[in-house]
Amino acid sequence: MSIFAIIMLGATGFFAYQIYRHVQILEDPIEKYEEPAPVSTKSILINNSTALVDEADEAYSEGDLERALDKLNRANTLSPNNTEILNKLAFIHGKMGDTQEAIALYLRSIELDGTDDLTHNAIASMYKEQGSLLLAQEHYEKALEIDEHYAITYYNYGNLLNEMGEGDKAAKMYTHALTLKEDFPEARKALEQLKEAK
């Protein structure tokens, strides 16, 4: 084999190797850079509703109830079965004096999750404000069934019973609240006022 033939054979081998490498470079990105998994519409909606709730919280802390309401309404459109959003919406409506809408939203929240004692507390407060004392009583009792160690429920229930003319029962509620939470000046004051009234 002549020197020229050996050089040509070497060059052919070198170019074949270069072509092989080029093909590898073209193929590798397909293996290394696969399409990212598609993000589900549900997770996008959840992320968007969470951002809106954060913006609503900020608006509320700045005293802008209208903006907070707008953000929460938009969040509720994206996540209509989210009890946190429903409860915050109800709270804002209550703050704005729309007791009926607040109650409707709390009831919707309770339909979705009846095991939240704070929601029962909140709706009881709305019913009390509306003058529906028996309905308020029903929800305070449900709240106590769910969590019998929450002093504020006993205090709130005591206030309701006092308003209903049930002084002795109210005193028991205030006493129980103080048993659970010694440093509870509102409950202590309410209990003292009941004793003075006798």
Model confidence over 120-176: pLDDT tens digits? 999 999 999 999 999 999 999 999 999 999 999 999 999 999 999 999 999 999 999
Token digits for 161? Answer: 């019973």
pLDDT tens profile 77-115: 999 999 999 999 999 999 999 999 999 999 999 999 999
Count helices and strands in the chain by DSSP H and E runs:
10, 0
What is the pTM (predicted TM-score) of this model?
A: 0.75
The burial class, CB within 10 Å (0-12 / 13-18 / 19+), for 191 is: buried
Please, what CATH class does the domain formed by 44-113 belong to?
mainly alpha
Sort residue 39 into left (φ over 0), alpha (ψ -120 to 50) or beta.
beta
